[in-house]
Amino acid sequence: MKKPHVSIAPMLDWTDRHCRFFHRLISPHAILFTEMVTTGAIIHGNKDRHLAFSQQEHPVVLQLGGSDPATLATCAKIATEDYGYDEVNLNCGCPSDRVQNGVFGACLMNEPDKVARCIEAMNKSISVPVTVKCRIGIDDCEERPFLDRFIQTVMNAGCGEFTIHARKAWLKGLSPKENREVPPLRYDIAAEIKQKYPQLKIILNGGLCSIGQIQEQLQIFDGVMIGREAYQNPWILAEIECRIFEDNRNVSRYDIIERLIPYMEEQMASGVPLKSMARHILGLFHEQRGGKKWRQVISQESHLEGMRPDDLLNRAAAATQQDWKLAA
């Protein structure tokens, strides 16, 4: 039986390597994405800072931001040959001003022929899959013909997998946050693409925040991508493991804490601040008794000089358990 496809979205400033390691502890099966990394950051910046990751994170996908075919091909080769990424994804969906100024992200949907050249160049340089993440349209376009032309053009260049965020991107007038919330979700338009191009792997993204929704959309699409829900309520990944992947491991939040401690200690020994890792685990007890205490201890004490991972996490865990005892 084919394993379901569930991925965790690339989220700028959130899905760094420490976040991904944490998510992998909870979910052995989800596909993890990096934050979007620009080609300029790889070519001119610290490659290890942007590309290094823990081997436990596999399968892990690098999302690239860029629009020059040759540069994208070079970066894709570095990422796969030097660092071992399992897939390279081209960002054609981010609407931020910074991305627009660089002429990539969502504005690339206006130039499907250019995207096609980018895909062709990357496919020639690497052997792992090259995929695309896009919106259903931009600005005041008519979504159906606009998206269809984009998909068909890029498909013909050799892209067999698209993650479709089922909202328009408004390049002017809406902030990136508003672009995630204001344009209406149109799962039906993404579903029409899947129906018209059954040979393509179509992954649905946007507004998925419950197991019921995920199960429903997996009947229509080849997979789903979970965004902010996975970050703010990471234990949904444990529910996905149980109910979507039928993995009945009996793992508790406290088991995850125990497995985080040695990772954090190792990273601190190499110079990573504790607070840079601890910020990703604030939601571990989301909507649980003791969750507020957990967040308070983590957020207030992770930056303290001399604080060690075992002290911080054990203190925070003890605070959640104290809440349970008081309630009892």
11 annotated as a binding-site residue: yes
With a cut of 70, which residues of the chain have pLDDT below it? 1, 97-103, 323-328
Q: Give the span between the Cα atoms of 257 and 285, in whole angstroms.
A: 11
205 annotated as a binding-site residue: yes
Q: What is the pLDDT of residue 323?
A: 58
Instruction: Find out whether 67 and 106 touch, Cβ atoms under 8 Å.
Output: no
Q: What is the pLDDT of residue 97?
A: 67
12 annotated as a binding-site residue: yes
Query: Is residue 94 among the annotated active site residues?
Result: yes
Q: What is the pLDDT of residue 180?
A: 82
10 annotated as a binding-site residue: yes
pLDDT digits (tens, 9 = 90+) for 55-69: 999 999 999 999 999
Asked, as a colleague might, if the bond just before 183 is cis with ω within 30 of 0, I would say no
Q: What is the pLDDT of residue 247?
A: 84
Instruction: Find out whether 263 and 292 touch, Cβ atoms under 8 Å.
Output: no
Q: Give the CATH number of domain 5-243.
A: 3.20.20.70
Q: What is the pLDDT of residue 192?
A: 98
Domain spans, the chain:
5-243, 253-327
- What's the Cα-to-Cα distance from 242 to each of 31, 56, 246, 266, rounded to whole Å? 16, 20, 5, 30
Which of these is catalytic: 19, 75, 92, 94?
94
Q: Give the span between the Cα atoms of 277 and 46, in whole angstroms.
A: 20
CATH architecture of 253-327: Up-down Bundle (1.20)
List of residues 6+ apart from 236 with CB closer than 8 A? 209, 211, 226, 229, 230
pLDDT digits (tens, 9 = 90+) for 147-201: 999 999 999 999 999 999 999 999 887 887 888 888 899 999 999 999 999 999 9
Q: What is the pTM of this model?
A: 0.94
Q: What is the pLDDT of residue 179?
A: 81
49 annotated as a binding-site residue: no
